[in-house]
Amino acid sequence: MHRFRKYLWPAAGGIVIVSLLVYAFSPARVEVDTAKVDRGPLIVTVDHEGKTRVKERYVVSAPLAGRMLRVDLHPGDRVEENQTVLAIIEPADPSLLDARSRAEAESRVRAAEEAIKLAETNRNQAQAEADRLRRLKGTQAVSETEMERAEFRERATAFSLRIAQFELELARSAFQRVQPRSPGENGGTRLEIRSPITGCVLEVYQESSRTIPVGAELVKVGNTTDLECVIDVLSTDAVKITRGAKVYLEHWGGAQPLRGRVRLVEPAAFMKVSALGVEEQRVNVLVDFAEPRAKWESLGDGYRVEARIVVWESDDVLKAPDGAFFRHGDSWAVFRNVNGRARLTTVNVGRTNGLETHVTEGLAEGDSVILHPSDRIKNGVAVSPR
C-alpha cells in the first residue's frame, strides 16, 4: 500500500488539471431571457386613432341670394329649435330677378316637398320595424345588436324628417321673397333663418355682413350631448370588425378608458395618404359610447381618441410571449429551456395581439421558453437564465 502512495498525489493533481482544462475549453453557457407559458385571457384588438363627432349635425345654408346681416352667434352658443335666429338675409330686389331665378326657387319648393314624402316613408318603415322588434325583445328571435340598429334607424329617420320640414319652410319663404311686389306692398322682406334643432353652434362660416349667393354655408349647429366616435382603419383591418364589437377608448384626456360599441362599419372605403406618402384604403368605423354621459361630458366635437377595437377574445387560453416565436421552415417554433439546455420545439399557434400568442399545440403550461433567441442559440446549447 505504501508503494502506491507515491502515485496518489500525482494522480489527483492530474485529475484536477484535466478538469480545469475541460472546463476552460468547454463552451460557456449562453445567458438568455426566459418566460413561462401560462393560461389566461387573451384579447386581440385593432388599434387606431380617431375623433369624436356630433351624430346629428346640420349646416345651415342660404336659401336665396341677398345681403346677410352680421351674425352675432359664436361657437358654443346655445340654440333652440325654431326659436333662435341664426341669420337674417335681405333678399335682392325681386324686380331685378329674372324668370329663371323664380323658376329655380319654385323647383326647390317642389324638391323639398318630395323630400318630405320620402322622409315620412322612411320614418314610418323604421318605426314599424322598431315596434316589431320591441315586441320580440327578450326572445331568441331578435338580438341586442338588431334592436340597437333598429332604434338608431328610427331616430335617424325622425331627424331626417325634421330637417326636410325645415328645408321646405326655408324654400317656401325664399320663393315668396323672389316674387315681384305689387305697388304699395310692404317692402319688409327680411328672411330670418331659425335653428332647425336644439343644441349649440359648432361653427360660423359667415360672420360679417356681406352679399351672399344661393347655397352659401352660414352656420353649423349640432347637439353635443349626442356624440359618436369615428375611427378610420385600414380596409384589411375593417373586414375583421363586426357590429357590436367592444371598443376601449384611451388617451382621450380622462383618467380611465371609456367603453364603447361598434355601431357601423361603413361599406365604402376611401383613399388616404399616410405621413410617409403611402396611399392607403381606409374605412370609417362608427362607435357609440357604452358609458353614462357623466363620464365623457367633457368631450366635444372633433376631439382626439385612441381606440382599441376588439376582434377576438377568450378568457382562458394557453399563451406565451410573442417574442419567443420564430419561423422554422414552414412552421412556427420556440426554444424551451429544459434543464439548462435549449430544446428546439415546433408549435402550432392561433391568435396574437403582438404581445402574447395563443399556443394550440407543442407547449404545456409551466414550460420555460427563451425570448428573442439569438443566432448563438442552437438545439442542445447550454443556457443560463438572466
96: pLDDT confidence band, cut at 50, 70 and 90? very low
Distance from C-alpha of 376 to C-alpha of 221, rounded to nearest angstrom:
65
**Contacts with 335 (C-beta within 8 Å, 6 or more apart), sequence order:** 324, 342, 343, 344, 345, 369, 370, 373, 377, 379
Strand pairing category for 30-36 and 383-385 = parallel
- Could you give the C-alpha distances from 286 to 52, 202, 244, in angstroms and in order? 10, 20, 10
Distance from C-alpha of 247 to C-alpha of 43, rounded to nearest angstrom:
11
Q: Radius of gyration (Cα) for the chain, nearest Å?
A: 36
AA identity, residue 258? L
User: Are the CB atoms for 159 and 151 separated by under 8 Å?
Assistant: no
In the chain the domains, ranked by start, together with CATH numbers, are: 29-40+316-385 (2.40.420.20), 44-52+225-314 (2.40.30.170), 57-222 (2.40.50.100)
In DSSP terms, 259 is beta-bridged to 248
What does the pLDDT look like over 35-71, one tens digit per residue?
Answer: 999 999 999 999 999 999 998 888 888 877 788 888 8
- Among the listed ranges 27-41, 157-171, 234-248, which one has the minimum average pLDDT value? 157-171
Distance from C-alpha of 101 to C-alpha of 92, rounded to nearest angstrom:
11
- Among the listed ranges 50-64, 159-173, 348-362, 367-381, which one has the minimum average pLDDT value? 159-173
pTM of the model as a whole? 0.67
SS3 content of the chain, % helix, strand, coil (to 5): 30, 40, 30
What does the pLDDT look like over 135-146, one tens digit per residue?
Answer: 777 666 677 667
